[in-house]
A and B are shown apart, each in its own frame.
Chain A
Amino acid sequence: MNLSSSHGAMTSLLTTLSHEYLQGKEEVLRLALVALLAGGHILIEDLPGLGKTTIALALAGSTGLSFGRVQCTSDLLPSDITGLSVFNREEGHFTFLAGPVFNNIVLVDEINRAMPRTQSALLEAMEEGRVTVEGVTHLLPDPFMVFATQNPSDQSGTFPLPESQLDRFLISTGIGYPPEHLEKGIIAGGGIRERIGEMATIATAADIQAARRQVAGQIYLSPKVVDYLHSIVLATRCHPLVQTGLSTRAAISLAQAARAAAFLEGRDYVAPDDIKGVAVAVCAHRLGMRPEYEAAGKGDVLREIIAEITLPLV
């Protein structure tokens, strides 16, 4: 296994963050790292005050990556995200002022409050990895990862993301309340926003890029594991509650995420467990439920489906 150097950086990143700064958020952190390593983006859906922003800040702070933040409101314009050209009177030409999207980690807070035009500009940037403003194409930095959050409870004055745009997020997950003893500790210790600013860099951008390359090229995906993945996809397509099952892109995303998860586990091959471990986060938000079953939790349906499928064990 020659995953050692970059893998070591990543695991120490994960353990430091989850043990020292963000207790009880291990799963979200793991998923965020999966998204980062697979080159995807993450959508965190949960109530305010559970540490969405903190996670993004901590991730940026511990990796030495640049961090940008967009607070979405209904009057936010696309140029507020991408940046705009301003006429420089002294030099006599337009100069491009880069928007917050030109950062390694971009926190898009309450993405569903932005109007569809703005959402779509952002999502385009996420998909393409570049921004075109006034005929000039500007490449986004590498690595580039969007941390979008949305509040599921407060629906007034929002523009919910259409399914096609939800599909752009590799992972969508909640955070949940921390366990009781941890929460008490957090209450006693107070917030950690201040400490995040003083965080030492654990992994560099170069580490992340190396890790990304390994995830993309050196994690072996066995045909029987592909069969397993495919049987999950097929099962979603014929489940009675589900109207539109997983697309091929969803299946590709699942494979990518599974590779990243395997990498984080320190393996150079994907085990069915890896797929099981990321499937709900990768796939649940892509399921289209039948209108009459809209209320059923997508995650629960998916968990039910996965529980029915036998794993390849030999």
Chain B
Amino acid sequence: MIRSISGIIAILSYAIALCGILPLFPWLATLPRLLLVGGLLAAFWQDRRGAWSLKNWILTSSTIPLFLYYAFQFNRSNAVQPVVSMLAVMLTVRLVGEKNGRNYLQMYALSLFCLASSSLFDLSPLFLVYLASLLLLIALSLVMLTFHAHDSQMVLARQDLRRVLAAGVIMPLVSLPLLVFFFPILPRTQIPLWNVMSVPISRSSGFTDKVEPGGSSSVGESATLAFRAELPRQPQQQLYWRGTVFNQLVGNRWVRDPAVPAEVIRYGSPRISQIIFPEPGRSRFLLALDSPADITFLRSRRYPDGIFEMPGLSGRRQSYSAESSTAGILPVVTKVDRSFYLRLPETIPARLRSLGEGIRQRGGSDAERVQLLEDYFRKGNFRYSLQGLPTGDHAIEQFLFETRQGHCEFFASSFAIVARAAGIPTRLVGGYLGGEYNELGGYYLVTEQMAHAWVEVFLTGRGWVRVDPSSLAVNAGGVWNDSRKRSLGLRLRLAIDSFDHAWNRSVITYDFERQVNVAQSAGKRLQLVSWKQILRASIKPALFSCMMVVVWLLIKNRHRLLLSPQERLLRRFYRRMKRDTVITVNRGNRQGLFEIAAESGNEKVREFVRIYAGAVYRDRQFTSSELCRLKRLIREGFSSQL
């Protein structure tokens, strides 16, 4: 296949333009979007036709009104959109207009700018893909343009094309080590420079700062990522992620009273350490596996009920480490403010109150009462559901006595109200349940649809005991069971997510602090290593590089190693001549053999040359006697004393 060079450049240029347009496209206003699409189509159509009907000066002058329009739009609160739109318009003009070398270069620069400006809105790992392909394509195009400038009609054969492509690919590849070198050093931003304010804060279902069953008749599930947690795989029934504690019922709504009564929890062991990567801007509560004994987060606040709170919401990506004890019981050393955890508003429906009163009278101790309450739920034929939910002020009452189906908030809320009515100190815990374990990245992926609420009851002598009323539903097994098989789509999603996580972890959140950390730990490690370790570690790379050098030498000297007998003989002859005579031979093979012989005036040299040339210039191999004679001549040498 033979392609004209201008055709190749056209294809490369479209690819480059697409690499610039695609990442920016979602953030553009409608007009620039339409212009870009139209421009691409027009350019493609004109290319196919081979005629460029639009003059460049017409196009350029027609952008002036647009430019003015965007210039007037520009102000401090709206700085980026006009600029980005103008970039798109200029790229369109370059696409549509006729192209010479300079126009192509302008187009490449504009595409690069477009891609760069897309990072003002979004820092997705896809940026890397686009940037890599853009750089590769531009390098290739520059090579092609050089050819094009030399001869625009040039046609490249397939083999030449392959060589040029290889050269073009090598250029960016060679710069990779530099990239690796600069990555830990150069400063970077963790948040999209422009799009800081538009971090999504609202969402449909999931973790909230209040629990209010009865708000709507159904709840949509959202698969939005809530957080990732790096830790070894845990039993699925232990995956309660503690977020917050609701300790006060106000009307129908469970809220958190920040004035948490003082108590001291003695966390058991073993502890499970984990690193949590929450999505930015979600919640101020620091999530961790229930129940976190310690969370390392700068200026975080710890409440007595085992809740951690960050100082303020931030759009930054940050991570923290946590130590959790997963026993499901929080032993309390001090006394617990029973009256605080028994408070109920007066408006509690009488049926709930009487149910609680009945349980209190039947049970001899708090533990028995909890047992009775659990039995009530277990035998009450309750169903877990996100549909057909009771609404309104009496939602809890309806759930408990009539519809008997609801989601975790109904279960937890009603359980807690009845338990408090039965005289058991109770509080509601909000957080997440479950998680998809990603073996590739070694972390749990927790989405908003896994948001959950459960209950902690205080039993004297034991402490706060976790009770999950939702698990008492008749269909709990079907909902909570993790035995379902992972579909191919889910596995694929997990694989992509692990890439996203790696990107966030190692690129986006790689900040100055970590740069310093890396430098410090490297210094410490260097102090610790001994020479033996260094030697041991360097043996393999050293061997490998030695091998590479040998291979390289072999390839480089393959001519010498694969010499023909003539060549070997000639080299020996030259060496011998150098040793035995004063004549400089082999001046870049520009001296004839007979010339050398005449210059030497040596009969043996003449004989050698006569035999040698007689075979070489007659295009035949040496006979064995000739070869013997030649070798003997060389062995004997050509010094004139002989």
Q: Is B79 an interface residue (CB 8 A)?
A: no
A310, B589: Cβ atoms closer than 8 Å:
yes
Interface string of A128-156 (1 = CB under 8 A from B): 00000000000000000000000000000
B564, A223: Cβ atoms closer than 8 Å:
no
A222, B595: Cβ atoms closer than 8 Å:
no
Comparing A7-15, A24-32, A269-277, the segment that makes contact with chain B is A269-277
Query: What residue of chain B has the Cβ atom nearest to residue A270's Cβ?
Result: B617
Q: How far is the CA of A66 from the CA of B334 in the complex (A)?
A: 143
A225, B595: Cβ atoms closer than 8 Å:
no
A223, A267, A276, A313: the one within 8 Å of B589 (CB): A313
Interface string of B593-623 (1 = CB under 8 A from A): 1110000000000000000011011110000
Contacts of A310 in B (CB 8 A): 588-590
Are A308 and B594 CB-contacts (below 8 A) given A222-B619, A314-B566? no
B618, A313: Cβ atoms closer than 8 Å:
no
Contacts of B589 in A (CB 8 A): 310-311, 313
B618, A222: Cβ atoms closer than 8 Å:
yes
A223, A308, A314: the one within 8 Å of B590 (CB): A308
Q: How far is the CA of A183 from the CA of B94 in the complex (A)?
A: 81
A271, B590: Cβ atoms closer than 8 Å:
no
Q: How far is the CA of A265 from the CA of B588 in the complex (A)?
A: 25
A220, A223, A273, A308: the one within 8 Å of B593 (CB): A273
B614, A313: Cβ atoms closer than 8 Å:
no
Min Cβ gap B309→A in Å is 83
Q: Is B380 an interface residue (CB 8 A)?
A: no
B618, A271: Cβ atoms closer than 8 Å:
no
Contacts of A225 in B (CB 8 A): 617
Q: Is A307 an interface residue (CB 8 A)?
A: yes
Q: How far is the CA of A270 from the CA of B592 in the complex (A)?
A: 12
A224, A267, A269, A273: the one within 8 Å of B592 (CB): A273
Q: Is B83 an interface residue (CB 8 A)?
A: no
B588, A313: Cβ atoms closer than 8 Å:
no
Are A314 and B567 CB-contacts (below 8 A) given A269-B618, A271-B613? yes
Q: How far is the CA of A314 from the CA of B572 in the complex (A)?
A: 13
A273, B594: Cβ atoms closer than 8 Å:
yes
Task: Kindly identify, within residues 182 to 226 of chain A, every residue whose CB is under 8 Å from any CB belonging to chain B.
Answer: 220, 222-225
B616, A313: Cβ atoms closer than 8 Å:
yes
Min Cβ gap B586→A in Å is 8
Query: What residue of chain A has the Cβ atom nearest to residue B615's Cβ?
Result: A269
Q: Is B238 an interface residue (CB 8 A)?
A: no
Q: Is B570 an interface residue (CB 8 A)?
A: yes
Interface string of A255-274 (1 = CB under 8 A from B): 00000000001010111110
Q: Is A309 an interface residue (CB 8 A)?
A: yes
Query: What residue of chain A has the Cβ atom nearest to residue B573's Cβ?
Result: A313
Min Cβ gap A211→B in Å is 20
A220, A269, A276, A308: the one within 8 Å of B595 (CB): A276
Contacts of A273 in B (CB 8 A): 592-595
Contacts of A223 in B (CB 8 A): 619
Q: How far is the CA of A273 from the CA of B591 in the complex (A)?
A: 8
Contacts of A272 in B (CB 8 A): 592, 617
Q: How far is the CA of A265 from the CA of B594 in the complex (A)?
A: 10
Are A269 and B564 CB-contacts (below 8 A) given A311-B591, A313-B570, A313-B593? no
Q: Which of A222, A223, A269, A270 gathers most chain B CB within 10 Å? A: A269
Q: How far is the CA of A269 from the CA of B614 in the complex (A)?
A: 7
Contacts of B566 in A (CB 8 A): 314
Contacts of A222 in B (CB 8 A): 616-619
Q: How far is the CA of A200 from the CA of B590 in the complex (A)?
A: 42
Are A276 and B617 CB-contacts (below 8 A) given A313-B570, A314-B567, A314-B570? no
Interface string of A273-314 (1 = CB under 8 A from B): 100100000000000000000000000000000011111011
A309, B619: Cβ atoms closer than 8 Å:
no
Q: How far is the CA of A273 from the CA of B596 in the complex (A)?
A: 10
Interface string of B458-470 (1 = CB under 8 A from A): 0000000000000
Q: How far is the CA of A273 from the CA of B592 in the complex (A)?
A: 5
A276, A309, A314: the one within 8 Å of B616 (CB): A314
Task: Kindly identify, within residues 615 to 633 of chain B, every residue whose CB is under 8 Å from any CB belonging to chain A.
Answer: 616-619
B618, A311: Cβ atoms closer than 8 Å:
no
A309, A311, A314: the one within 8 Å of B564 (CB): A314
Min Cβ gap A72→B in Å is 38
Q: How far is the CA of A50 from the CA of B235 in the complex (A)?
A: 114
Q: How far is the CA of A222 from the CA of B570 in the complex (A)?
A: 18
B564, B591, B617: the one within 8 Å of A271 (CB): B617
Q: How far is the CA of A269 from the CA of B616 in the complex (A)?
A: 10
Q: How far is the CA of A143 from the CA of B595 in the complex (A)?
A: 31
B567, B590, B614, B619: the one within 8 Å of A311 (CB): B590
Contacts of B614 in A (CB 8 A): 267, 269
Min Cβ gap A225→B in Å is 6
Interface string of B550-568 (1 = CB under 8 A from A): 0000000000000010110
Q: How far is the CA of A225 from the CA of B593 in the complex (A)?
A: 13
Query: What residue of chain A has the Cβ atom nearest to residue B586's Cβ?
Result: A313
Min Cβ gap B594→A in Å is 4
A276, B592: Cβ atoms closer than 8 Å:
yes
Interface string of A13-44 (1 = CB under 8 A from B): 00000000000000000000000000000000
Q: How far is the CA of A307 from the CA of B595 in the complex (A)?
A: 13
Contacts of A307 in B (CB 8 A): 590
Q: How far is the CA of A307 from the CA of B570 in the complex (A)?
A: 20
Query: What residue of chain B has the Cβ atom nearest to residue A309's Cβ?
Result: B590
B588, A269: Cβ atoms closer than 8 Å:
no
Query: What residue of chain A has the Cβ atom nearest to residue B616's Cβ?
Result: A314
Query: What residue of chain A has the Cβ atom nearest to residue B568's Cβ?
Result: A314
Q: How far is the CA of A283 from the CA of B37 in the complex (A)?
A: 66
Contacts of A313 in B (CB 8 A): 570, 589, 593, 616
Contacts of B618 in A (CB 8 A): 220, 222, 269
Min Cβ gap B610→A in Å is 8
Contacts of A265 in B (CB 8 A): 594
Contacts of A224 in B (CB 8 A): 617, 619
Contacts of A276 in B (CB 8 A): 592, 595
Contacts of B591 in A (CB 8 A): 311
Query: What residue of chain A has the Cβ atom nearest to residue B619's Cβ?
Result: A222
Contacts of B594 in A (CB 8 A): 265, 271, 273
Min Cβ gap A242→B in Å is 20
Q: How far is the CA of A281 from the CA of B570 in the complex (A)?
A: 30
Q: How far is the CA of A302 from the CA of B618 in the complex (A)?
A: 27
Min Cβ gap A3→B in Å is 13
Contacts of B564 in A (CB 8 A): 314
Q: How far is the CA of A222 from the CA of B617 in the complex (A)?
A: 6
Min Cβ gap A226→B in Å is 11
Q: Which of B566, B593, B614, B616 gathers most chain A CB within 10 Å? A: B616
A269, B617: Cβ atoms closer than 8 Å:
yes
Q: How far is the CA of A269 from the CA of B619 in the complex (A)?
A: 10
Q: How far is the CA of A270 from the CA of B567 in the complex (A)?
A: 19
Min Cβ gap A297→B in Å is 20
Contacts of B593 in A (CB 8 A): 271, 273, 313
Min Cβ gap A306→B in Å is 9
Contacts of B590 in A (CB 8 A): 307-311
Min Cβ gap B358→A in Å is 112
B588, A271: Cβ atoms closer than 8 Å:
no
Q: How far is the CA of A276 from the CA of B591 in the complex (A)?
A: 10
4 residue pairs, one from A and one from B, having the closest CB atoms = A273-B592, A273-B594, A310-B589, A314-B566
A-B contact pairs, 16 of them (CB 8 A): A222-B616, A222-B617, A267-B613, A267-B614, A269-B617, A272-B592, A273-B593, A307-B590, A308-B590, A310-B589, A311-B590, A311-B592, A313-B593, A314-B564, A314-B567, A314-B570
- B interface list, Cβ under 8 A from A: 564, 566-567, 570, 588-595, 613-614, 616-619
- A interface list, Cβ under 8 A from B: 220, 222-225, 265, 267, 269-273, 276, 307-311, 313-314
20 further interface pairs, Cβ-Cβ under 8 Å (given A223-B619, A276-B592, A311-B590)? A220-B618, A220-B619, A222-B619, A265-B594, A267-B614, A269-B617, A269-B618, A271-B592, A271-B593, A271-B613, A307-B590, A309-B590, A310-B588, A311-B589, A311-B591, A313-B570, A313-B593, A314-B564, A314-B570, A314-B616
